[in-house]
Amino acid sequence: MTKKKIFIGTDTVSGVAPQILKAVLTASKTKTLPYGNDIFTKKCERTVKKIFQKNDLEIITMMSGTASNSLALASFLRSYGNVICHNNSHINQDEGGAPEFFSGGGKLLTLSNTLGRIKAEDLLKKIEEINFKGKLNTVISGVSITQLAENGTLYSLDEIRAISKICKKYKLALHMDGARFSNALVSQSPLSPAEATWKLGVDCLTLGATKNGAMAAEIIIFFSKDLAKEAKYHLKQTGHLIPKTRIISAQLNAWFENDLWLNLAKFANQKASYLRKKLSKFKDFKILFPTQGNEVFVEMSKISYNNILKLNIFPKLWNKKNNCVVVRFVTSFETTTDEIDEIINRLNTKFANN
């Protein structure tokens, strides 16, 4: 008998939380102004200001994470400019050249390590190396970090502080890709959104709800109003300002309400911990990196991987090297303990414990 397929490789296409669906229905029926001048977007702005404890910030709500990252970067990245980021970052590897396009030719300069996070000392070295080449050849505009990082781990407050200090010294903007910011935040609990961002020197945050309960809702938060000046024009020119913006903002309002965003993230993180603990018992699996959010990375032989697929379990194939593969398991607000137990039960039929 064929087993039901279990997709456990991404949170990108999870479902939609009921509270958010309900908000979409209400907004659909509400008459209000188009193009972001609606009451839902205004409420969202008030909410964000309160949650982030800052009054002089600007927000943009939109439907696409790739676009929100690129628009945020374009707020300080000119065609002749460069942004330093990790080689594995989503903006560098997964966005089809959107940051380069939005900025009219801006360039990403990458730092590599197996850690998945930029180290302050590497950043400093890179900046000095580049400046040595001469200012007309390469203009550094900013730095982009990802929280949770691409390998599912956290930048510590100290790590961000060290990076931020370098940014201030060299007058570079600091961008945080927060596609999984909510997972990161609850993982450091108690930590306020403000302490996790602008109080550390982050200039703008792209905060994603789509992976964590929304239908399609992302928000850019500019902690400096100056940075936001051109973004509204870019939003329009890139076709991301839609008439019924109320539908997007309504999702975000429901997401923020009663800490839904944090609760969904907490739930997902707990499931990831549980999954990790269970997976770590198999001797064919080597767990990589700490699990500080909702992701578990596992190294295994190609043979093991193929056996997993035969069990109709589908983690995401992350990379391949020689006879090994790395796969990613991701939990979401929808992942149940039953689902994980089912995964483990199936694995038990093919794999031995330590």
Contacts for 326-329: CB closer than 8 Å, 24+ residues apart: 326/288, 326/297, 326/298, 326/299, 327/9, 327/297, 327/298, 327/300, 328/9, 328/10, 328/152, 328/295, 328/296, 328/297, 328/298, 329/8, 329/9, 329/272, 329/275, 329/279, 329/295, 329/296, 329/297, 329/298
Which residue stretch of 30-38, 161-169, 183-191, 304-312 sits at the interface with a second copy (rule: CB under 8 A)? 30-38
98 binds a second copy (CB under 8 A): yes
239 binds a second copy (CB under 8 A): yes
| Alpha carbon distance 15, 142 (integer Å) | 35
19 binds a second copy (CB under 8 A): no
Out of 100, 177, 203, 299, the residue judged to bind a second copy by CB under 8 A: 100
Q: Please, which of residues 122-181 interact with a second copy by CB under 8 A?
A: 129, 132-133, 136-139
Out of 96, 306, 309, 352, the residue judged to bind a second copy by CB under 8 A: 96
Out of 46, 168, 169, 233, the residue judged to bind a second copy by CB under 8 A: 233
Written as six digits, the tokens of 142 are: 């900013």
Using an 8 Å Cβ cutoff, are 205 and 68 in contact?
Answer: no
Residue 29 or 190 having the CB closest to a second copy: 29
28 binds a second copy (CB under 8 A): yes
Residue 164 or 332 having the CB closest to a second copy: 332
121 binds a second copy (CB under 8 A): no
Residue 68 or 153 having the CB closest to a second copy: 68
* Min dist. Cβ of residue 263 to a second copy (A): 19
Residue 160 or 175 having the CB closest to a second copy: 175
Residue 7 or 290 having the CB closest to a second copy: 7
238 binds a second copy (CB under 8 A): yes
Out of 58, 95, 150, 299, the residue judged to bind a second copy by CB under 8 A: 95
Question: What is the DSSP track for 128-168?
Answer: HHHHHH-TTT-EEEEEEEESS-TTS-PPPHHHHHHHHHHHH
322 binds a second copy (CB under 8 A): no
Residue 53 or 233 having the CB closest to a second copy: 233
Which residue stretch of 59-67, 150-158, 274-282, 290-298 sits at the interface with a second copy (rule: CB under 8 A)? 59-67
* Min dist. Cβ of residue 259 to a second copy (A): 22
Residue 193 or 208 having the CB closest to a second copy: 208
Residue 105 or 290 having the CB closest to a second copy: 105
Residue 40 or 52 having the CB closest to a second copy: 40
For residue 221, which of 91, 60, 62, 41 has the smallest C-alpha distance? 60
| Alpha carbon distance 11, 95 (integer Å) | 17
Binding mask 245-284 for a second copy (x = CB under 8 A): -xx-------------------------------------
| Alpha carbon distance 55, 52 (integer Å) | 9
Out of 97, 336, 345, 352, the residue judged to bind a second copy by CB under 8 A: 97
Using an 8 Å Cβ cutoff, are 328 and 304 in contact?
Answer: no
Residue type, 308: I
Out of 15, 113, 258, 303, the residue judged to bind a second copy by CB under 8 A: 15
N-term to C-term CA, the chain: 29
Tokens 């943009």 belong to 60
Tokens 């931020």 belong to 164
* Min dist. Cβ of residue 67 to a second copy (A): 3
Give how far the C-alpha of residue 80 lies from the chain's centroid of Cα atoms, to the nearest Å: 26
| Alpha carbon distance 76, 174 (integer Å) | 10
